[in-house]
């Protein structure tokens, strides 16, 4: 079973990267939905719970901190 991690998202970086990838300005709500669809669970504020293998869907610069959940 994969370890679960509690991560803190770097929202400005994630929004910029996703907007560039999509070729349009992405809203925070759109990116939140993408995170949920990708297996992330919102914890509180900018924190999310994710299985360790799924963390690879984010760039290192999009994550501020990582700790065991």
User: Mean pLDDT per segment of 10 residues, for the chain of length 69 residues?
Assistant: 93 98 97 97 95 96 97
**Every domain of the chain and the residues it spans:** 4-68
pTM of the model: 0.91
Hey, CA dihedral for 3, 14, 12, 29, is it positive or negative? negative
- Tokens linked to 56: 């690879």
- Tokens linked to 58: 């984010």
Please report the pLDDT score of residue 1 as a whole number.
72
Rg (CA), the chain: 12
Specify the residue for token string 């501020």: 64
Alpha-carbon distance 39 to 16, whole Å?
21
Specify the residue for token string 């992405």: 26
């Amino acid at each position: 079973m994969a370890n679960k991690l509690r991560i803190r998202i770097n929202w400005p970086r994630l929004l910029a990267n996703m907007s560039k990838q999509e070729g349009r300005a992405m809203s925070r709500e759109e990116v939140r939905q993408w995170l949920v669809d990708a297996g992330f669970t919102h914890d509180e504020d900018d924190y999310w719970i994710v299985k360790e293998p799924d963390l690879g869907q984010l760039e290192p610069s999009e994550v501020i901190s990582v700790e065991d959940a």
